[in-house]
Amino acid sequence: MVFMVKITLYQFESCPYCAKVRGKLETMGLEYEKIEVSSDRNDILRQKLLEKSSVGTVPVIEIDGKFIGESDDIVKYLEDNF
């Protein structure tokens, strides 16, 4: 089965929670784009992610316009929907 969804992972490369989500995406064979975010919480992108996901930390994943934060919630969403 082929899924035609756009998946974007907003992350820090060194973040263990981000690595957990990357591992899950890769194990499931899902293609995704990685976007490295600033560690500055006042960064415009970080503010947008907080507004869209209600989560002030990374990882945040965007799947077809839906934003999900927190690694456990992201992994559960992936397991339930893919």
pLDDT of residue 4: 78
Q: How many domains does the chain have?
A: 1
User: For the segment 9-54, what is each residue's pLDDT rounded down to a tens digit?
Assistant: 999 999 999 999 999 999 999 999 999 999 998 999 999 999 999 9
Question: Looking at the domain assignment, is residue 8 inside a domain?
Answer: no
Question: Looking at the domain assignment, is residue 57 inside a domain?
Answer: yes
User: For the segment 62-78, what is each residue's pLDDT rounded down to a tens digit?
Assistant: 998 999 999 999 999 99
Averaged confidence pLDDT in the chain: 94
Structural domain boundaries enclosing 69: 14-81
Q: Which one has a higher pLDDT value, 5 or 79?
A: 79
CATH number at residue 39: 3.40.30.10
Q: Are 68 and 60 in contact (CB under 8 A)?
A: yes
pTM for this prediction: 0.92
Strand order in the sheet with 66-69: 33-36, 7-11, 60-63, 66-69
Question: Looking at the domain assignment, is residue 42 inside a domain?
Answer: yes
Question: Looking at the domain assignment, is residue 5 inside a domain?
Answer: no
Question: Looking at the domain assignment, is residue 6 inside a domain?
Answer: no
Question: Looking at the domain assignment, is residue 23 inside a domain?
Answer: yes
